[in-house]
Amino acid sequence: MSKTLVKRAFKYRFYPTDAQAAELSRTFGCVRLVYNKALEARAAAWTQNQRRITYGDTSAMLTAWKKTEELAFLGEVSSVPLQQTLRHLQSAFSHFFTRRARHPRFKSRKKSRASAEYTRSAFRWRDGRLVLAKMSEPLAIKWSRPLPEGAEPSTITVSRDSAGRWFVSILVETSVDHYLPTAGAVGIDAGLTTLVTLSTGEKVTNPRHERRDRQRLARAQRALARKQKGSANREKARRAVACVYARIADRRRDFLHKLSTRLVRENQTIVIEDLNVSGMLRGRQARAISDASWSQLRSMLEYKAAWYGRDVIAIDRWYPSSKICSACGTLTGSMPVSVRVWACRCGATHDRDVNAAKNILAAGLAVTACGDGVGPTRHEPVRQPSQPPYQG
């Protein structure tokens, strides 16, 4: 069985002491400040002089900031997270210049993720005990699963979510065993009522985690709205709302991990649609689409497939998978979303979603065999009646 050497991040919850929490909170604030000041300097240099500032320039700026009376407190925290945030800003601009991301935005104290990244020189790792720079005691980590045997952390990322929970993400390099090769191949059609429909005919119901907790969320939000701004009770109510959101996100992530792992384990080739999720989120069903989290599922499928020696193929988002007869290849005319079952003139009767999944699989296999831009043969479109002939 072949192996792949990969970098994996193992995330654990930990419970800091008061001194550790205070030190980390100061570090988070300094990281955010340095990022924003460097971003402001880069934006001003381009606006005023059409000059690009590099990571080296911002690193020199950071040294100068520490020497000023106003920003001398930057020298009280570990310098590594501050340098790392400048590297992250450089990466953000690199992605922007290559049109892979939007222009970097300023970090907000309330909305942005509070985190700090420590490289090998800024922490001590010995016998499963992790001590960060500027701290004397190890973090009290809840080891929910063991690290790979013999793994040595290369990067540590500490974060605090909006619900007040502390997490440490440990990046290690480890080998992953490939799954045994299989002849299985599956096409996946994403939906809302049914989260995914497989070309095998299986349908995975959408758990709708956000809808299940919507009443609890509404109560927490109403309680928050009644609290006076700036009061301690408002902060407690805000955290209660954040806890509901965290519960929803945790359950959704757990479900998607289990689903994606099963699909990757059972199939050698997985074919999906290249959906424009960001565009869909501007429509009327944005809340339901966000809850379905198709992008997160795709991301999980792709990196797990790379780990375990599987293939994920994304076909063109404009491919009319629902309108093509998977039996004879006839392309129908207009088909409203309300039509869930339809009959082709060849006599085949189709479940809309299962038929789409079969066509997605066929298109993906055609790409594998013949190259990109190739799809199954389609005949001329035929006009569908306003009511489906199949009434079940």
- 198-210 residues labelled b (16+ CB within 10 A) or e (exposed): bbbeebbebbbbb
Annotated catalytic residue within 23, 210, 273, 291: 273
Which DSSP string do the residues of 297-318 spell out, in sequence order?
A: HHHHHHHHHHHHT-EEEEE-TT
Going 12 to 249 to 26 to 57, the CA torsion angle's sign is positive
Burial of residue 57 (CB within 10 Å: 0-12, 13-18, 19+) is middle
Instruction: Locate 380 and state its tokens.
Output: 């001329």
Give the SS3 label for residue 379. strand
Annotated catalytic residue within 23, 189, 210, 291: 189
Measured in degrees and rounded to the nearest 5, phi and psi for residue 83 equal: -65, -35
Measured in degrees and rounded to the nearest 5, phi and psi for residue 123 equal: -155, 160
Rounded alpha-carbon distances, angstroms, from residue 329 to 253, 322, 364: 37, 11, 15
Residue 177 is among the residues annotated as catalytic for this protein: no
Spatial distance between the Cα atoms of 378 and 366, rounded to a whole number of angstroms = 13
Residue 353 is among the residues annotated as catalytic for this protein: yes
3-state percent breakdown (helix, strand, coil) of the chain, nearest 5: 45, 20, 35
Would you give the DSSP letter of residue 60?
H
Would you give the DSSP letter of residue 213?
T
Residue 189 is among the residues annotated as catalytic for this protein: yes
Annotated catalytic residue within 23, 210, 291, 353: 353
Spatial distance between the Cα atoms of 7 and 154, rounded to a whole number of angstroms = 10
Spatial distance between the Cα atoms of 203 and 195, rounded to a whole number of angstroms = 8
Cβ atoms of 27 and 201 within 8 Å: the answer is: no
Going 64 to 68 to 70 to 71, the CA torsion angle's sign is positive
| Residues belonging to the active site | 189, 273, 353
